[in-house]
Structure 1
Amino acid sequence: MRAFSAGLTLIFGLHCLAMTLAVAAEPEWRHGVSLTGALKYKPGFEAFDYVRRDAPKGGTLRLSTAGAFDSLNFVIPRGNPAPGLESYVYQSLFVHGLDEPVSSYGELAEAVRYPDDFAFVTFRLNPQARWHDGKPVTVDDVIFSFNAQVTNDPSKRLYYRDVVKVEKTGSEDVTFTFGHPGNREVASILSQLHILPKHWWEGTDAQGRRRDITQTTLEPPLGSGPYKVKSIDPGRAIVYERVKDWWGAKQPTNVGRYNFDELRISVFRDSTVELEGFKADEIDWRSENSALQWSTQYNFPAVQDGRVVKENFPERASGRMQGFAFNIRKAKFSDPRVRLAFNYAFDFEEANRSLFYGLYKRINSYFEGTDLASKDVPAGLEREILETVRGQVPDEVFTTPYANPVGGTAEKARANLREANRLLGEAGWVIKDRKLVHSTTGETLSAEFLINSPAFQRIILPYQSALERLGITVTIRQVDPSQYIARLNNRDFDIIVGVWPQSLSPGNEQRDFWGSEAADHDNSRNYIGIKNTAVDKLVDRVIFARDRTELEAATRALDRVLLWNQYVVPQFTRSDTWTARWDRFGRPDKLPAYGSSGFPDIWWFDEAKAKRVGGKP
């Protein structure tokens, strides 16, 4: 009997031990997620430090954007969704804090958990979260949103390609399972997923027609965010109004934010007309991208008497590559020597002096503006990573820091053109009847620059002259925004001005930028058409980096390989954002370190200032 009792005790003890181990193995719930280390804000925090908690609500903010819109459905790649939908009408599971590099805190979800090997991630929804019709945000909404976006948008499908299963694992819990454990970024990028109301999209509109998420629509959508669509003038303007009984107003991540009662966003097809609209007090805020306009067009009376304020805000949260990007799907641009010759023909220093008032610096990295940019020669872990692709990348990757050709004087410009001519000759291009033709195929080397703004013409014209001195036939084709997007998606171009923004923690988006699979997707940002196994390997190394040290080394290795393949002629950038505003607004005393201006989310309408400025609002 004692033996039987002892056996039961042993079995019971083992069972309890197994339960204890199982419980211990469960990952802990977290109120936030960070890719760089510990979170700044502890559980139960009341608000972000960079907001004014009692910021006044009210007033109207008038903004502008370039390019028309024809849809209020952002899910599908067809059409042009209205500006502001994802920022103001919809919410994501978590939201970024602007005083940390890459940290996020609960929004529609209140907690997240994942194991050490990042094999899955589970989000627990906030039971208070509501759609604007009062119905709760559910796990079914999350699953529906994920499936809708990866099914209908190739770029999202690529972005979330590691997710093999999404399922309900509790009344408020949704779990994403990954096919390749070790991707420490996936929890963060899934937290950015914008959530859609399943019941609304599966319902009918006012005319009794069943809604279809695969089609464009101008029906104002149902959201859960701080604003809803008040009115639209298709292709010209959209107006958002603040939801007065918004469920999330008192959430810690939202206190002190979204202070304007109304947001009006007007669409302009021409930046010159947009600037005139700002001068005429039709727009409240303008971010300027043209050195010419910033230097010459902001001296009108309202600037001189202080009613309009010019201010530069430092940009610390992101970097970028901007350059003349080749469509290497075309044989004439498939040889990197040809692409490098185009770089030798571009005299940035002269352009910066004569066109840009010396306000720009040359881009020398795909991660320009961040500490992830490659420099010197590779060493340590970065070199170890590069050794895994030796023989698949240019030899210079290991021996020579990348640097763009330098011009600025007549002598340097002539020397650069001589080098360009030498490179073109090596690639098989020879001069016949003053035209550059291929010695084997007889094809004439021509290049069409496809642009959607006249602002680029003044940059390309002197570049065109230099290229034509080499015998290259050059044309500039300006089209309207809708035509430009169509040609871009159809890969119907020779050279465009490509822009790739970079965060402080690069990851899955790099597949969309440079990955071989993305090269064949019309809506990917692999405009260039890169299909390079070494690049693919390095992109995966970035995505599956085990810690920050490895991430930095892998990113610099990727940067170096992209640069030495000469996929673009790098252009120019600056380290701050140029802005001008009619002085009707207030802001916190200290702006967030990684949020640039923080406008408009943490600003507010100041009635006293507005009264002094006068004008139209």
Structure 2
Amino acid sequence: MFQINFKVNNTLLLGKTMMNKCFSRIRFCGGVILATMAGLGIAFPVVADGHGIALYGEPALPSDYTNLPQANPDAPTGGTFVDGQVGSFDSLNPHILQGNTPWQLRFLAYESLMGRAYDEPFTLYGLLAERVEVNDEQTQITFTLNPAAEFSDGTPVTQDDVIWSWNILGQAGANGRYRSAFSKVESVEKVGDRGIRFTIGAPDRELLMTLGFRPIMKSAQYADDESAFFRSGLNNIPITTAPYVITDFDPGRFVELSRNEDYWGADLPFRRGTNVIDTIRMEFFGDATAHFEAFKAGELSTMRETNAAKWARDYDFPAVRSGDIVLSEIPHQRPSGMTGFAMNTRRDLFDDWRVRQAMIEVFNFDYINNVINGGTQPRITSYYSNSPLGMEPGPAQGAVADLLEPFADSLLPGTIEGYNLPETDGRASNRKGLRAASRLLEDAGYTVENGVLTGPNGPVTFDILVQTGSSEVQSIADIYIESLKGLGIDARAVAIDSAQFTDRVTNYDFDMVWYQWGLSLSPGNEQLAYWGPDGVTAPVSRNVMGADDPAISEMIDAMLNADSQEGYVAAIRALDRVLTAGRYVVPIWHNPVSWIAHDKALTYPADRLPIYGDWIGFQPDVWWFEN
């Protein structure tokens, strides 16, 4: 992980000034911040100063901080926030593999020992724990519980609750995001009356921090039947420590949370000015059209738009013209991540990089971008594009080249010398792309017989898996399928509901799938779950494409064990090259800003936007209703 922190002196003033300017010059400032940090000679050991912990350097906020910088400490309480989403739900437990749970519950309904500050790439501050300490060898982390911490039923949070939560999330039925680190922890033990100490087998700076960022649950709730924790369903309402509690729901239709008037942590600096809205209601819709119409009708408080053409065209309805609905654009410095059609290399067809490149060549990006977005959206050029962590153009240089050199003989073309996505002229025909794709397929042993592309296993056919409810994704897939016909490929889009989609993706039961990886400014151990070797065959990873390249693991290892900021960034840029040149995904576009339409009374601190922008911890966390 990399950490941009600023000490409380002249460095703090310089850093914050530069950070504010970055919102209008995102691409340029990322590099300036990194260069400035290196020039200042800031050291990057793991630091735990009691109140918080940062991966590199010190937490930006001092021990006597009063509130998070992106929060308004004077925000009034009250109001009902109604959000909508396409899909359904059949579970209220976001920590298990079974069932479909409203994604917001993971963040709104549960707390952890430490809370993440999204104005910093990766810093944690005390939440359920009032203090955190790391030993000199960086193999132990000790959390001291806040004596005031309690569950929504008024019972105290205990050491046993923390240890039980750790153990239950390490079991097979729990979500893989929690289980991935379980084998690395050698022991969890009580220390004194309120301490919990985790010991790991080898120094792992990022792992030590993530141990404090796991949900803590009430062990007594499952004392009679621990297996109930893993059963999907709506009968077991979780007892949590969070500012909100689930107070009402209708299966598949809505979930309602209410602000706990007796919330134990209301006066914590980490919480001051956050979670002030009284009621949060999540409404579910069968498709995107119904979702948008509900917003236009005033049934929802907010609407996130991801389509540039729709943002420019469809948000001119009466409530916008009258000023009752406000259109806000929120900039960010997050990596673009990767979104598009992921190819399953476990299938013989996509095991050949030339076939994967052909699939990229035939995707008529400029034409599709014009049809869907009016041609306004920038393309995703790599997994970490739009951020200072992204690979640089041209041949690999310096430390990046040094990291890749041992794998030079096995790396795919473009990894070291530079890889660029194909460009098209924007016409529907895309003759250039079709010719390039045909040559690649011919080199890979495929021929066209009677207008049908044929290979070692006969005529080439495959399915593109998508979720029901997204007309935009369906439109992209339809245009792409028409282009594939030009190669003699019989492809079809298969739309299934979210539960089936999750099951099939989890078990890698697809040929090509519409998928999205959101990446942060602080990549760490989760990269192994994203692209690591275990996910090639074992289910429940995010390595949906089945990437199986030793260079990936080595770059992740170099990132996790970097002893300087420069080494960390170089390893990520090298990883970015290996993934991008791996040609695993047909990428689409990204949004360097987030578009949010919202009730005029629903307000956010526009003068103190976090570097993550509209991300976890932003809406509704730091929003409020003006009285």
TM-score in terms of structure 2 length: 0.88
Question: Matched residue of 2:540: which SS?
Answer: coil
Contact 1:320 1:502 in 2 (8 A): yes
Contact 1:337 1:424 in 2 (8 A): yes
- Aligned residue in 2 for 1:71: 91
Quote the residue 2:232 is aligned against: 216
Aligned residue type for 1:387: E
Larger radius of gyration: 1
Q: Which moved more, 1:261-270 or 1:31-40?
A: 31-40
1:191 and 2:191 matched: no
1:419 matched to 2:436? The reply is yes
Match of 2:35 in 1: none
Percent identity (aligned): 33
> Do 2:327 and 2:598's aligned partners in 1 also have CA atoms closer than 8 Å?
yes
Matched, 1:384 2:402: yes
Q: Is the 8 A contact 2:47 2:58 kept in 1?
A: no
Any stretches of 5+ residues in structure 1 without a counterpart?
Answer: 1-25, 205-209, 608-617
Q: What is the distance in 2 between the residues matched to 1:589 and 1:490?
A: 42
The yes-or-no answer on 1:313 pairing with 2:330 is yes
Matches of 1:547 and 1:170 in 2, distance apart? 35
Could you say what secondary structure the match of 1:460 adopts? Answer: helix
Which letter maps to 2:219? K
**Separation in 2 of the partners of 1:265 and 1:216?**
19
Q: Tell me if the contact between 1:155 and 1:521 (Cα under 8 Å) persists in the aligned partners.
A: no
Q: How does 1:499-514 map to 2 (within 5 A)?
A: 499-514=516-531
Is 2:271 the partner of 1:239?
no
**1:518 aligned onto 2:535:** yes
The aligned counterpart of 1:489 is 506
Amino acid at match of 2:217: L
Within 5 Å, which residues of 2 pair with 1:394-409? Answer: 394-399=412-417, 401-409=418-426
Correspondences of 1:52-201 after superposition (within 5 Å): 52-151=72-171, 152-153=173-174, 154-181=176-203, 183-201=204-222
Residue of structure 2 in register with 1:561 after alignment = 578
**Aligned partner of residue 385 in structure 2, secondary structure:** coil
The AA in structure 1 aligned to 2:230 is T
Instruction: Report if the CA contact (8 A) 2:258-2:280 is conserved.
Output: yes
Matching residue's letter, 2:149: A
Secondary structure at 1:573 match in 2: coil
Give yes or no for contact 1:202–1:211 (8 Å, CA) kept in 2: no
Which sits farther off after the overlay, 26-35 or 417-426? 26-35
- CA drift of 1:595 comes to 4.4
> Are the structure 2 counterparts of residues 442 and 216 from structure 1 closer, same or farther at C-alpha, using a change threshold of 3 Å?
closer
Unaligned stretches of 5+ residues in structure 2: 1-45
1:358, distance to aligned residue in structure 2 (A): 2.0
Which secondary structure does the structure 1 equivalent of 2:492 belong to? strand
- Tell me the alpha carbon deviations over residues 23-65 of structure 1, each in whole angstroms, 9 at most, x when there is no partner: xxx9965211112422221112222233222221111111112
- Give the match's secondary structure for 1:572: coil
**1:471 and 2:488 are equivalent in the alignment:** yes
Is the partner of 2:196 in helix, strand or coil? strand
Aligned to 2:30: none
Q: Could you tell me how far apart the structure 1 residues matched to 2:245 and 2:572 are?
A: 39
Tell me: CA distance 1:389–1:164, structure 2 relative to 1, closer, same or farther (3 Å).
Answer: farther
TM-score (norm 1): 0.89
Residue identity in the other structure for 1:446: T
Q: After superposing the two structures, state which structure 1 stretch, 572-581 or 187-196, moved more.
A: 187-196
- Cα distance per residue 1:196-247 (max 9 Å; x no partner): 111122147xxxxx77212123122100010101011011100001100110
Letter in 2 for 1:128: A
Whole-Å separation in 2 of the counterparts to 1:395 and 1:522: 29
Provide the residue aligned with 1:21 in structure 2. Answer: none
- Deviation of the 1:398 alpha carbon: 2.0
Match of 1:393 among 402, 411, 422: 411
Give the match for residue 43 of structure 2.
Answer: none
Gap change, CA 1:27 and 1:371, over 3 Å in 2:
closer
Change (3 A) 1:412 1:34: farther
SS at match of 2:161: helix
CA–CA distance in structure 1, aligned partners of residues 444 and 136 of structure 2: 50
Q: Are 2:336 and 2:591, in contact at CA under 8 Å, matched by a contact in 1?
A: no
Deviation at 1:442, TM superposition (A): 4.1
Q: Judge conservation of contact 2:47–2:54 (CA < 8 Å) in 1.
A: no
Alignment-derived partner of residue 26 in structure 2: none
Distance 1:28 1:374, change over 3 A: closer
- The one-letter code of the counterpart of 1:137 is V
Question: Match for residue 347 of structure 1?
Answer: 364
User: For residues 344 and 177 of structure 1, what CA distance do their matches in structure 2 show?
Assistant: 49
Contact 2:74 2:273 in 1 (8 A): yes
* Residue in structure 2 matching 1:230, options 247, 267, 280: 247
The CA distance in 2 between the partners of 1:136 and 1:71, in whole Å, is 26
